[in-house]
Amino acid sequence: MSITIDQIPDLVSQLTLEEKASLCSGGDAWHLQSIERLGIDGYMVTDGPHGLRKVNSAGIIDLYNSVPATCFPTAAGLASTWDTELVGEVGVALGEETRSESVAMLLGPGINMKRSPLCGRNFEYFAEDPVVAGELASALVRGIQSQGVGTSLKHFAANNQETDRLRVSAEVDERTLREIYLPAFEKVVKTAKPWTIMCSYNAINGTYSSQNHWLLTEVLRDEWGYDGLVVSDWGAVVDRVKGVLAGLDLEMPGDAPRNDARIAEAVRSGELDESVLDTTVTRVLTLLAKAGPAMDNPGSYDVDAHHALARRAAAGAAVLLKNDDQVLPLTSGEQVAVIGKFARTPRYQGAGSSKVNPTRLDTALDSLREAWGADLPFAPGFNLAGDADPDLVAEAVEAARGRTAVLFLGLPDIAESEGYDRTHTDMPANQIELLRAVREVAAHTVVVLSNGSSIGVAEWDDQADAILECWLGGQASGSGVADVLTGAVNPSGHLAETIALRLSDVPAQLNFPGELQHVHYGEGRYIGYRGLDATEREVAYPFGHGLSYTTFEYSTLGVEARPISESTNQDDPVVTLTFTVTNTGDRAGAAVPQVYVGFPDSTVDRCVRELRAFRRIELAPGQSEQVSIELTRRDLSYWDVILHDWAVEPGRVVVEVGASSRDLPLNAKVDIEAPRVLHPLRRDSTVAEWMEQDEEFAAKVRSAAKKVGFSADMEDDPTTASFLLTMPVYKVLQLAPVMSPEELDEMLGE
Ligand code: BGC
């Protein structure tokens, strides 16, 4: 029988110091600690995130020996659906499987930002934008937890590369952390309440996440109101006692007797107050109590239904990048040839701790043959080693001659993985060579891509009439993708990461992956489209892009703003947008309208545009829908590094609406009424800053300026005025004696 929440205070009072300390780490690599004499059962936790990886052994490194489970598309694919409902359904299914295997918590999702396309683990992450990642991960977490089991939102925080991941320090400025790297976590924490958060391996600005009080307590608990448990990534603990003090509750993998002993010793020596340990233990027991009912009644799940859902998710994840002359969908009776190894041997998931043992595996070749006839020609065309193979190419050319060649290309397993980063984004040369050869003889070429993170397309884009980016689509990627190719499903996926023309266009590349245990996030907030828009780079396919077999029109944008006052809360709506989306084609389909904001007159640096909201709406041919979206005070705010808080400025906001970050047919400007952002006046505030907030002081400066020979009217002489106005006020007497020392003291004293 499981423990209940009500029993926890009593249990804590019965635990010895050693028992309490032992609960701060697991019982083995995948279980929490049990204490039999008190009936505390240390349940199992497992990876995650897009399928259950319940290992059959207690070892940590045994990555590939786990019970069968449904492998859904990885996060890169789930994010490309921009479909919170579908992702929520996937969550429910993951929760059912977790529960039915008597596992208390799934270790995921991972929501780190895609700072660079090179991060080896991007396939496990959602997006280069916190709004997309935050919304979709919230849906997933809610779905999983609806089944009475927990999630572990990871890797908190700034774990944006695999290189040196166990010790690298991510050097990130405060505003960038707040506006780019933390908001997706904040969103999920506040709206979906994950039972646990997994801290990252890396350090942030010199302090390991596993012992970072600012991160784990001040931001996570004090500011965001988080009341769940913080678990270490497997092996992320450096100094266990510092970790407890910082807010790290559970060390994994377990069986950490030395660290448990250190905790007990720290309590005895007074270094650690026992009440802090009690709080930690209470959180561990709360997790067990929450999972108790599900563990007492695990239930079962419908393997076929989950596979069918995985197929829908794979189809939903596919992004139609290009479709010249509407070569897709394939039309019935069309002469088609299937080329490329991945049609028969799908690349459908990534390597590392997320690797699932699938319940079954569909191939695109089988599914297309089901739809098109068993005699549909196929040729593998290339080998995974990347070597040129003229025989394979010749065979493919013969198969494709005169037909619509559907080429299944992408990255081999080895190209991207947990544990290391890529060094380039190129497609293997032997596959490009194959495409060129097939192009010569085929009637049309359709490229279907399988890869975990964006790959360069510029070198071969002109060789393809259509490109369908399918990411790592899970165990039903073969059938799901076939559904899109045949038109059974109208694609509605959109890019959650930009496909740059060249890797060197990506601003983060100047500082990726760092060196000598440091990585400096020198590009600041300018990751992904934010940077590429600022530097006005052309891109291959922009963030948010995705075609459909139908067409959509955006019209009649209306924007209404309400004044913002001191009492307006962060979540209060302050701008209402309405616009209409119409399906102007002859097929049913789903549009994904996106809302971006920009602040051209801001006094602080702002990105050209930033996504603030999106919707996914299904429309029948000819159907229109009016969409209404509210933007909150927070949506208009920036992180002010003097106030250490969100600040909203009065002035102009540009709102853009459309189908991608570079296809924004609707735009409107709206003036926001809000109090000016005022910073506290200090000795080193400038004369201008003082004048702005203190009229009496302003008058004194003006008259004194006249006396000492500054021009009569400062506005008429901006050069001279700038000398005075930009001066920190404590330097006034030294450099421009516009007042007496007594007057200055009096002013500063106030
Ligand atoms: C990974 C985590 C994973 C854990 C347990 C770590 O190496 O970073 O994402 O949940 O192992 O397998």
pLDDT (0 to 100) of residue 740: 78
Instruction: Give the max Cα distance, the chain.
Output: 97
pLDDT band at 513 (very low <50, low <70, confident <90, very high): very high
322 within ligand 1 shell (Cβ under 6 A): no
pLDDT (0 to 100) of residue 750: 59
234 within ligand 1 shell (Cβ under 6 A): yes
Are 27 and 19 contacting, i.e. CB atoms less than 8 angstroms apart? no
| Residue identifier of the C-alpha nearest atom 12 of ligand 1 | 353
Q: Does pLDDT of 712 surpass 70?
A: no
107 within ligand 1 shell (Cβ under 6 A): yes
For CA atoms 154, 159, 165, 170, give the dihedral sign: negative
The catalytic site residues sit at: 233
Are 237 and 251 contacting, i.e. CB atoms less than 8 angstroms apart? yes
pLDDT (0 to 100) of residue 697: 83
pLDDT (0 to 100) of residue 49: 95
pLDDT (0 to 100) of residue 473: 98
Report the b/e string of 364-393 with b at 16+ CB within 10 A.
bbbbbbebbeeebbbbbbbebeeeebeebb
106 within ligand 1 shell (Cβ under 6 A): no
pLDDT band at 659 (very low <50, low <70, confident <90, very high): very high
DSSP-assigned letters across all residues of 144-195: HHTTT-EEEEEEETT----TTTTTPEEE--HHHIIIIISHHHHHHHHHH--S
**From ligand 1's centre to the CA of 214, what distance in Å?**
23
Q: 388-441 pLDDT, tens per residue?
A: 999 999 999 999 999 999 999 999 999 999 999 999 999 999 999 999 999 999
CA angle, 427 as apex, 426 and 432 as ends, to 5°? Answer: 125
| Residue identifier of the C-alpha nearest atom 4 of ligand 1 | 234
pLDDT (0 to 100) of residue 231: 98
pLDDT band at 56 (very low <50, low <70, confident <90, very high): confident
Give phi and psi for 54, each to the nearest 5: -90, 105
Q: Does pLDDT of 545 surpass 60?
A: yes
Average pLDDT over every residue of 74-93: 98
167-171, 236-240, 637-641, 746-750: least confidently modelled range:
746-750
154 within ligand 1 shell (Cβ under 6 A): yes
Q: Does pLDDT of 246 surpass 90?
A: yes
The reply to whether the predicted model has a pTM over 0.95 is yes
- Residues 388 and 429: their CA atoms lie apart, in Å, by 8
pLDDT (0 to 100) of residue 346: 98
pLDDT (0 to 100) of residue 713: 59
Are 411 and 122 contacting, i.e. CB atoms less than 8 angstroms apart? no
Residue type, 260: D
Q: 568-584 pLDDT, tens per residue?
A: 999 999 999 999 999 99
Q: Which atom of ligand 1 is nearest to the CA of 47?
A: 10
List C-alpha distances in Å: 253 to 249, 310, 543. Answer: 13, 30, 37
The first and second tokens of residue 164, run together, are 């040196």
Q: 292-306 pLDDT, tens per residue?
A: 999 999 999 999 999
Q: What is the dihedral of CA 614, 620, 622, 627, to 10 degrees?
A: -30
pLDDT (0 to 100) of residue 59: 63
pLDDT (0 to 100) of residue 61: 64
Average pLDDT over every residue of 328-339: 96
For CA atoms 486, 492, 495, 500, give the dihedral sign: positive
Q: Which atom of ligand 1 is nearest to the CA of 53?
A: 12
47 within ligand 1 shell (Cβ under 6 A): yes
pLDDT (0 to 100) of residue 266: 98
Q: What is the mean pLDDT of the chain?
A: 95
Q: Which atom of ligand 1 is nearest to the CA of 159?
A: 8
**From ligand 1's centre to the CA of 164, what distance in Å?**
15
**From ligand 1's centre to the CA of 234, what distance in Å?**
6
pLDDT band at 256 (very low <50, low <70, confident <90, very high): confident
**From ligand 1's centre to the CA of 233, what distance in Å?**
6
**From ligand 1's centre to the CA of 201, what distance in Å?**
10
25 within ligand 1 shell (Cβ under 6 A): no
pLDDT band at 741 (very low <50, low <70, confident <90, very high): confident
Are 604 and 561 contacting, i.e. CB atoms less than 8 angstroms apart? no
Q: Does pLDDT of 742 surpass 90?
A: no
233 within ligand 1 shell (Cβ under 6 A): yes
535-539, 547-551, 731-735: least confidently modelled range:
731-735
Q: Does pLDDT of 711 surpass 70?
A: no
pLDDT (0 to 100) of residue 60: 64
| Residue identifier of the C-alpha nearest atom 6 of ligand 1 | 234
Q: What is the dihedral of CA 635, 640, 643, 644, to 10 degrees?
A: 80
Residues 6+ apart with CB under 8 A from 476: 307, 308, 310, 311, 313, 314, 362
| Residue identifier of the C-alpha nearest atom 8 of ligand 1 | 233
